[in-house]
Amino acid sequence: MKTVGRRLRGRAGQTTAEFALIVGGVALVCLVGVLVLGGGIGDLFGSNANRIGRGGPFVPPRSGTATFPESADDCVDNGWEQYAQFTDESECLDYVASITP
């Protein structure tokens, strides 16, 4: 019976060493992955951030100060630019057409 106990105790140390090697291997693979892919992922997020930032921050109009065009004349000749809710003349004209009976 003593021999079985000695064998089991001897294997516990071996299992711990194997576990440590596996954990070390996984950590090494993760480190290499971060080093290899880190720059590419950073560049990807950086380029998207630059694309988003080109237009400048959106500043919504203060509450109660938004105005709306009443006729198509208010939209033409860059008149749509004075209305913050429109991104181009066609949106402004579409709005005017939707309110005109």
DSSP 8-19: HHHHHHHHHHHH
**Strand spans (E) along the chain:** none
Q: What is the structure's pLDDT at 23?
A: 94
Sequence ranges of the domains in the chain: 1-57, 58-101
Query: Among all chains, which residue has been given the structure tokens 């060493």?
Result: 17
Q: Using one digit for the tens of pLDDT, what is the confidence trace for 15-30? A: 888 889 999 999 999 9
Helix (H, G, I), strand (E, B) or coil at 68: coil
Output the CA torsion 76→78→82→85 (10° steps).
80
**pLDDT-derived band of residue 38, with 50, 70 and 90 as boundaries?**
confident
Say what the pTM is: 0.36
Q: Whole-angstrom Cα distance, residue 91 to residue 97?
A: 10
Q: Using one digit for the tens of pLDDT, what is the confidence trace for 42-79? A: 777 776 565 555 555 655 656 666 788 888 888 888 88
User: Taking CA 88 as the corner, what is the angle to CA 46 and CA 86, rounded to the nearest 5 degrees?
Assistant: 85
